[in-house]
Chains A and B, each alone.
Chain A
Amino acid sequence: MPAVFVAVLFIYPVVTLLARGLTVDAGRLGEVITTGRFQRVMWFTTWQALASTALTAVVAMPMTWAVANRRFGGRGLVRVLVTIPFVLPTVVVAGAFTALVDRFGLDSGAFRLRHTVWIVLLAHVFFNVAVVVRTVGGHWSQLPRAPEEAARVLGAGQWQAFRHATLPRLAPAILSALSIVFLFTFTSFAVVLILGGPRRATIETEIYRWAVTRGDIATAAALSVVQIAAVVALVLANIALTRRLASGTGTLDDRAVACTTGRARAAVATAIGVPGVLLALPVLVLVERSFRSGGNWSVANYSGLRERVRVLPLSAVDAVINSLLFGVVAAAIAMIVGGLGSIVVVHGRRSLSRVLDVALLLPLGTSAVTLGFGILISLDRGILDLRSSWWIVPLTQALIGVPFVVRAVVPVLRAIDPATREAAATLGASPMRVRREIDLRVGGRALVTGTGFAFAISLGEFGATSFVGRDPDHLTVPLAIARLLGTPGELLRGQAMALAVILMVVTAIVVLAGERLQPGAGSVL
């Protein structure tokens, strides 16, 4: 069933589009990859993605450590709050970053950030810290402590124990998370376009340029082929690496311990606080802006949202409800498909498991343009004519959510000692029941983590859905924000900021509620 889902919603549309593009002009692929511009774009795309991934890891790891290893007030909240950047429309975040840059005078001079690659990297870190903190943190908190304790007893220092006893067991989860970050930044669109300035192009922005602005599907398809080939190669390498590392080491309920000393508390505060500032600053700018109205502090922007604003087909409240509905549906689909997909990847027949492992990750590394146009030209007959159905929006968004679920869940399932499942079977649990009692229970936290992302992705909108027509009654918050920002006027701008803040708060509440609902979540929160 996960295979059918990916085949119908991803592979078939994308292959159809690429075939269409390449039939128009098969020689274009050769021409395209030999141009200097393409090689520059490819180089920039790759290195900025690598740099963003590395930087994200550096910023996120201390926070991940704290969340996984220490009990402290607001621990669950940290896990939830880091998700917030995910749902913010890039235009709004870009605005906040630009404002920050201005405020600190970084728009010119030696520390100029505006329209540099640095601000692109910063924004990528901002958006992706959550991926590491949540997926790696979830796995880490379930790792048994014994091997590190053994290492410490054998004379290893704290760092050495981490290096030799923790890191190897954590590596599959880290690689999983970083592969997602890499794919996300490899296909980054709006951040590069808006913050990077007009001189910077990634393969994603090039595909858009050729397909949409210039209407040249052949070139766009050729670029897509290169993009997908690069992503497949990367995914395969990553999976090979992850498999080699993965081993059943058992899982714990929660390994975190309370902070007993002032030093421990200080360590946690530093680990959370320093990267926290980076994440919080742009958000605070937004919040500040949302409470500025006509040069004064006020809640007018919020109260104004109760009525339908002229440029919007619906009231902001309806848009919030729509967003939530789409988000819940997309998250549910991603949870089911991703959950079952993870089980197939871990337990399925070898060939199927390998293929699915790659296929489920690919949508993340595929251009939104390719996917969006592919859906339009392929899912156009009979029962599959989903083009005009509202289902296509959550289905497409779920496609991007699924890799998050799979990447979070698979390392945890792989770490389950097989004897645990056998024990359940000998105690009378049918294979189905074993999945439910063991895999689902142990992988539950990871499943919720991934589902949280799927939900956030849906709320933040995903590019491919913008190519699919939708009923204005289904206006969602990001679309509403785009509309409000698309017409001049201080009133509309203020309301856009207020709406962005509402989106953040609502997201936090829903993700928090989701985490509380999961089995055995009490200890995390």
Chain B
Amino acid sequence: MRITTRFFYALFAVSLCAAACSSDGGADADARTNGDTAGEVVLAEPDVSEAADAPNQTFGDATDCPTLTLATHDSFAYSDGLFESFTEATCIEVEQVAAGDAGQMVSAAILTQGNPTADVMFGVDNAFLQRALDADLFSRHRSPLLDTVDSALQLDDQNRVTPIDFGDVCVNYWIDALPGDAPTSLDDLIDPVNADQFVTENPETSSPGFAFLLATIARYGDGWEDYWQALVDNGVTVTAGWEDAYYGEFVAGGGERSMVTSYASSPPAEVLFANPPVDSPPTGVLFDSCFRQIEFAGVLTGTEHPLAAGELIDFMLSAEFQQDIPLNMFVYPANGDTELPQTFVDFGALADEPLILDPAVIEANREAWTDRWVEIVLG
């Protein structure tokens, strides 16, 4: 027994070492553990982007070519080799790690605030933005490309986060399965013609579900409770997540409901990933119901490489990265100069006047709203 124990201690030690070294090389791992203060010093500077513009700059630490860790939610997707040109131009290596859905990622980041597992985080949306800002997750960085971004997308005037992409959460409908005319307004969902047709997601467990709740609040103000009561009376059903709504209750997966809370970009995906191929999507979007979701990136407080992290944010707003976004993540690039793929131009649509709420208002009322929603809908 004693021999085995010793043997496995050794094995364990070896594996721990391998683990510690495999992430980003010995030198950098050391730097990470010794230099806790570097990030905070830089943090005090109001704007670090100008320094980043200088050629041949160093990145505020001993390593000239740092490896940055980019934390994202699980849905982050990109084309092969996307970061290679960035590495060539700046000598900064990028390692992406996915850490659950947006809620998990933000909650985890708040818990590790000051000693982050990554340097840059991508994927905080406006529903969670205020919570992240309140927790002091991000350091300031103003990208020179921010001017290309519609000001409506810029929700933090202190530039702690940078908008990268946006999309709309909207009610979708299966054109051939509608009992009546295609819906054109939120009010159509409570029309008895559409009884038992609508499925949405639980705002407490699903991001589009929460967005739809916010849409109704943005539209009806205090009247949202009555609207939901009317939805309940008209037979709305609720699922835990998008998958079981879209593929469980909605016609797309063999269900019987013709309306579902999904995304404005779902129809182009239905075309792109149709089987057999189709010319036009089987689904349509109820633009009146659209709530705008904006996804941000930010430099995490406590990073060893704040300047390099800023460079990465700039790259994410550049044409190369922005063009890659639509067909990988089915959302729209924040950089207004970006050319859209044809499928998006043809079928993807955005609401002209999407519903939106101030992140601070969302955070302040989240618990009260969801508690009330539970009372009304789940009784």
Contacts and interface: CB of A to CB of B under 8 A. Distances in A.
Given A469-B97, A489-B273, A380 B115 contact: yes
Given A95-B253, A294-B275, A310 B104 contact: no
A94 B270 contact: no
A28 interface: no
A471 B328 contact: no
Interface in B47-67: none
Given A294-B276, A435-B1, A489-B274, A98 B100 contact: no
Nearest to A312: B77
Interface string B12-49: 10011111101110000100110000000000000000
B193 interface: no
B141 interface: no
Contacts of A435: 1
Contacts of B16: 383-384, 386, 391
B91 interface: no
A232 interface: no
Contacts of A380: 112, 115, 117
Interface in A200-229: 205, 208-209, 211-215, 217
A390 B244 contact: no
Interface string B132-169: 00000000000000000000000000000000000000
A372 B204 CA distance: 20
B74 A483 contact: yes
Contacts of A387: 112, 117
B202 A198 contact: yes
Nearest to A309: B273
Contacts of B12: 1, 4-5
A490 interface: yes
A199 B238 CA distance: 9
A162 to B, nearest CB: 37
Secondary structure type dominating chain A contacts: helix
Which 3 pairs show the lowest CB-CB distances between chains A and B? A489-B273, A469-B97, A391-B19
B240 interface: yes
B243 A91 contact: yes
Interface in A463-510: 466-472, 479, 482-483, 485-494
A322 interface: no
B274 A376 contact: no
B240 A194 contact: yes
Contact of A373 (B9, B111, B270, B366): B111
Which of B69, B106, B239, B377 has the most chain A CB within a 10 Å cutoff? B239
A493 B253 CA distance: 9
Nearest to B69: A388
Nearest to A385: B20
Contact of A466 (B3, B32, B100, B131): B100
Contact of B104 (A212, A313, A388): A212
B126 interface: no
B75 interface: yes
Residue with the highest number of chain B CB atoms closer than 10 Å, among A214, A310, A469 = A469
Interface string B198-238: 00001011000000000000000000000000000000001
Contacts of B243: 91, 95, 482, 485-486
B97 to A, nearest CB: 3
A381 interface: yes
5 contacts: A194-B241, A311-B328, A343-B1, A385-B33, A491-B274
B110 interface: yes
B75 A486 contact: yes
Contacts of A384: 16
Contacts of B107: 211-212, 215, 373
B77 A336 contact: no
B259 interface: no
Contacts of A155: none
A9 to B, nearest CB: 11
Interface of A: 1, 4-5, 17, 20, 91, 94-95, 98-99, 102, 193-194, 197-199, 205, 208-209, 211-215, 217, 293-295, 300, 308, 310-313, 336, 340, 343, 347, 372-373, 376-377, 380-392, 431-432, 435, 466-472, 479, 482-483, 485-494
B342 interface: no
Given A340-B8, A490-B275, A313 B97 contact: no
A383 B244 CA distance: 41
Contacts of A340: 4-5, 8
Contact of B110 (A209, A215, A471): A215
A333 to B, nearest CB: 9
B269 A487 contact: yes
A381 to B, nearest CB: 7
Nearest to A490: B275
A486 B242 contact: yes
Contacts of A215: 106-107, 110, 131
Interface residues of B, number: 81
A99 B244 CA distance: 11
Nearest to B202: A198
Contacts of A102: 254-255
Interface string B234-268: 00001111111011100011110000001000100
B18 A391 contact: yes
Nearest to A213: B204
B356 interface: no
B294 to A, nearest CB: 19
B247 A469 contact: no
B104 A389 contact: no
Contact of A494 (B104, B262, B275): B275
A15 B24 CA distance: 29
Contacts of A295: 276
A490 B378 CA distance: 31
Nearest to B273: A489
Given A385-B20, A388-B23, A388-B97, 9 more contacts: A20-B111, A95-B248, A194-B240, A385-B32, A389-B20, A467-B99, A472-B97, A483-B77, A490-B274
A525 to B, nearest CB: 29
A398 to B, nearest CB: 11
B90 interface: no
Given A381-B33, A471-B95, A488-B273, A1 B77 contact: no
Interface in B354-379: 366-367, 370, 377-379
Given A212-B104, A485-B243, A471 B97 contact: yes
B205 A313 contact: no
A392 B19 CA distance: 8
A224 to B, nearest CB: 14
Interface in B66-97: 69, 71, 74-78, 80, 95-97
A508 B115 CA distance: 42
B318 to A, nearest CB: 20
A373 B77 contact: no
A17 B108 CA distance: 12
B20 A390 contact: no
B120 to A, nearest CB: 12
Contacts of A486: 75, 242-243
A469 B252 contact: no
A386 B97 CA distance: 13
From B3, B241, B379, residue with most partner A Cβ within 10 Å: B241
B98 A472 contact: yes
B8 A336 contact: yes
Contact of B74 (A5, A194, A392, A479): A479
Contacts of B77: 310-313, 483
Nearest to B95: A471
B251 to A, nearest CB: 12
Contacts of A467: 99-100, 104, 108
Nearest to B327: A310
B118 interface: yes
A89 B169 CA distance: 26
B9 A1 contact: yes
A480 B324 CA distance: 20
B330 interface: yes
A381 B270 CA distance: 46
